[in-house]
Structure 1
Amino acid sequence: MNEQEQLAAYRAMQAAIETEYTRTAERMAALKAQGKERTATYRQLFARKLTLSELLSWYRTYGLIQKGETEV
């Protein structure tokens, strides 16, 4: 894999993580609106959101995404 292919793969991965973070947050909000914060599903989503948030913060730390993009 050459450098351009690696960059394209990285960008695709970054977009997938940002999309997954947003989708997870939306699912959590829907469960919260239903009063289901104590369910196993909600707790699993919470753990997933934390993991995705950590990945996004590393990208931000190294300047790979700008502050304000996919706010965590």
Structure 2
Amino acid sequence: MLTINPAVLLAIVVIVRLRRRTEARSRFDEKMTVVIVLALGVLIAPTPVGQGILNILGRLASGVTQAGR
């Protein structure tokens, strides 16, 4: 039986949508891309990959904050 991971499917959709030329996008198209990216984030967040990304972004934010002092 073949199963499709929704996070992988959404990642492919995001990549295809972002490769399009900027001039060819309507406002609705941009909003739809944002919704798809948010859905992808919700699907990735509880996974080990999502936790790793969160950890890296937290360290980066901490470093930027400390550099600003």
Normalised by the length of structure 2, the TM-score is: 0.46
Higher RCO, 1 or 2 (CA under 8 Å, sep at least 6)?
2
Normalised by the length of structure 1, the TM-score is: 0.45
More helix by share: 2
Structure with the greater alpha carbon radius of gyration: 2
